[in-house]
Chain A
Amino acid sequence: MSVRAFRATPFSYATLIIVSAVLCVPLVFVVSIALSSDQTVNANTFTIIPREFHWENFTRVFSTELPMQRFLLNSVIISVGAVAGQVLSSGLVGYAFARLRAPGKNGLFLIVIATMMIPAQITMIPQFILFKELGWVNTFLPLIVPNFFSNAFNVFLVRQFVSRLPSEIDEAAMVDGLGFFGIYRRIMLPMLAPVLIAIGIFTLTATWGDFMGPLIYLNDESKMPLALGVQYITSTSQALQAPPWNLVMVGSILLTLPMILVYYLGQKYLYEMDISGGSAGVK
């Protein structure tokens, strides 16, 4: 039976086309400006559809006075560390909360939930002092190490995921003489792949794009990740001189492309998570 609510009218098409076009205009401008020469950018004569194709901007960006390749490498190091930390720890903790029985567990889980409501700003200053005392300021450690202690949201995701797996699986493994760690490593870990990949994607997007963390902890140009570096290009240009917009846009593209790639490769895992429950799939 055809239902009116699902019938697409010419009006629906018109709206969708206009809205998607408007949303994409800024992105088209980014590409156009990234391909423009310095003169075009300074004279403000770039157009939405690129008229010139200065692909050398993509190599030029690596030979300015700013160490772009270093920024990129730093981003990769920090992101890989953070993802490894979250994936390793969240799986273990989430499994424990879902399956193992222990006195005090329910109380602890309530605390896990409660901590999700505390804004990061509360702990920002004391954490800074802590890392300063440890001598970790101006290193990657404050941005990587806390991830090895999992976080409430990810623990919650894994716990929900494990709770939906039939418990006969681990009971059978137990009868076969596997210990708890064996069950986790050999039985659970392979089954957790979708949720761990989703956690990896969330962590990667959050860390790759993180601005405030590096802003607080990293002072040296050579330590900055790309997200901070791209912004640094604009803030270091002379006061009355416009920033080199074409190179800034190349930097923005370098910052964005990995996210598009990750989304493209990972979307099937993200949609496999129970989005309708509203607990997953949120940036």
Chain B
Amino acid sequence: MSRLRRREALWFYLFASPWIIGFVVFLLGPMVASIYFSLTDWDSFTPPKWVGLDNYRRLLTDDPIFWKALWNTFYYAAISVPLGLILGLWLANLLNKGVRMRKLFRTLIYLPTLVPLVATAMIFKMVLAPSGPLNDLLGVVGIPGPSWLLEAAWVKPALILLSVWGAGGATVLLLAAMKGIPRELYEAAEVDGASSLRQFWSITVPQLTPIIFFNLIMGLIGAFQVFSQVYILTKGGPNNASQTMVPLLFDQAFSFYHLGYASALSWLLFAVIMVFTLIAFRSARRWVFYETEVR
């Protein structure tokens, strides 16, 4: 290697050193440590005790709350993510029409996503109170509203409602992508007499599949890691009806100091996220359309 190239390589490693050091100290090291912790029984005050795979065995065969949390997390992700995407797509499509005051509508729809999660949780604690505004409204139409966050049957729908309030995030992304769809496609369809619904399904949706897919992946990963809303609004209750993976992990680690058990839990969470991401990527071949692809 020439002197110049060596110098350039040296500068590369110098410039990249923040990331490299951060990777080793804050990611690689902790990951290795986490694998070790997950194989021990440890409360952080006494030395860790090696237990092999016992933490994993207990989680999978001996801990009904883990399975409940896993099921709740699935339930939350499986409904909130597609619902948010469908709503986002529908709103983006409306905004993409030549509506007047589009900027105003776009801002109003996007506004909820600017509210920090803690504030969102506070707002929904108030909105969903047993005698709060939502139940007042339901009362007007003659429906006796449930005690949302206090009832096992309604607490998950309540959390999903909170997440759907932020559908504006997807709306803005999808709207930006819609602007990039070539107009000729629509004009050709128009000549063929396609209805607006037909144009939506046969042009808009297929053209957007890459960005829908991206949103689906990011949304699923985020939903599996849901924490603040659950922790603030329900602490997983009532009777673990809203307990999800990360709040459970947090409690095990920082309330009960079961650091080994919680570490094992974090690896199971990672495995679940990986499996779902892989399934999504697998399915993508069938429904995601890329411009350069010839079928």
Contacts and interface: CB of A to CB of B under 8 A. Distances in A.
Nearest to B121: A231
B256 interface: no
B94 A16 contact: yes
The dominant DSSP class at the B interface is helix
B18 A150 contact: yes
Given A26-B127, A93-B15, A125 B34 contact: yes
B97 A211 contact: no
A130 interface: yes
Given A23-B109, A212-B228, A227 B116 contact: yes
B61 interface: no
> Chain A contact residues (Cβ within 8 angstroms of B): what range?
35 or more
Given A44-B131, A119-B225, A15 B111 contact: no
A255 B118 contact: yes
A122 B122 contact: no
A26 B263 contact: no
B230 to A, nearest CB: 11
B124 interface: yes
A276 interface: yes
Interface in A258-280: 259-260, 263, 271, 275-276, 278
A111 B23 contact: yes
Interface in A208-228: 208-209, 211-212, 215-216, 227-228
B187 interface: yes
A259 B11 contact: no
Contacts of B105: 16, 20
A122 B266 CA distance: 5
Nearest to A88: B18
24 contacts: A5-B186, A5-B199, A5-B203, A6-B96, A7-B98, A8-B98, A12-B97, A13-B99, A16-B91, A19-B91, A29-B127, A89-B19, A92-B15, A96-B11, A120-B225, A121-B249, A125-B253, A129-B33, A181-B11, A227-B118, A259-B116, A275-B177, A276-B180, A278-B210
Interface of B: 5, 8-9, 11-13, 15-16, 18-23, 25-27, 29-31, 33-34, 37, 44, 91, 94-100, 105, 108-109, 111-119, 121-127, 131, 133, 165, 168-169, 172-173, 176-177, 179-180, 183, 186-187, 189-190, 194-196, 199-200, 203-204, 210-211, 214, 218, 221, 224-225, 227-228, 231-232, 246, 249-250, 253-254, 259, 262-263, 266-267, 269-270, 273-274, 277
Interface of A: 1-8, 12-13, 15-16, 19-20, 23-27, 29-30, 33, 44, 48, 89, 92-93, 95-97, 100-103, 105, 108, 111-112, 115, 117-130, 132, 146, 148-152, 155, 180-181, 184, 205, 208-209, 211-212, 215-216, 227-228, 230-231, 234, 245, 248-249, 251-253, 255-256, 259-260, 263, 271, 275-276, 278, 281-283
